[in-house]
Amino acid sequence: MSVAVRGRRGSGGRFGLYAIVRAGGKQYKVRKDTVLSVEKHEGNAGEQISLSDVLMVSDDSGVKVGTPLVAGASVTAEVVEQYRGKKIRGFTYKPTKNIRRRYGHRQSLTRLRVVEIKTGPAQAESEAAG
C-alpha cells in the first residue's frame, strides 16, 4: 500500500522523476543516470541489478510514499565497478594493563549507475500494452 501526497513541492514537474531507495541499510535519492556507491552488492561490471526497496517515488503525477515500500516500484541499475573503500585505521587499548592493538578495515563497495526508475504497477501495465 502506498499513500499519494500532493503538495507545492510534491509535483514531479519541478524536481523531475526521482526515487528514494534503500540499499545496504542506507537510503539514497536517485535519478536516472545517478552514480552512487553502496555496500557490496553481487554482480560483475556491466550487469544490471534491480533495487526493489523503493521507499518513495516522485513523478509528474505526484509523490507516492510507501508504507514501508511503494508497491510495484523498482529501480534498475548497472554495476559500474566493484571496489574497496579507503582504509580506516583503529586503535584500542586497556590503560592499566599495557595492552595495545592496532587494526585496519577496508569496506567492500559497489558503484552503481541508475538506468531506469519504474514508478509502480500502472507504469508496468502501460509499457506492456504499448
> Running DSSP on this structure, what letter comes out for residue 45?
T
User: What percentage of the chain reaches a pLDDT higher than 70?
Assistant: 81
Prediction pTM value:
0.74
Q: Quick one: pLDDT at residue 120?
A: 72
**Burial (Cβ within 10 Å: 0-12, 13-18, ≥19) of residue 57:** buried
Residue type, 124: A
Counting the structural domains of the chain, the total is: 1
65-77: average pLDDT: 91
Give the structural domain span for 38.
Answer: 2-129
Q: What is the DSSP string of 60-123?
A: TTEEEEESSS-TT-EEEEEEEEEEE---EEEEEEETTTTEEEEEEE--EEEEEEEEEEE--HHH
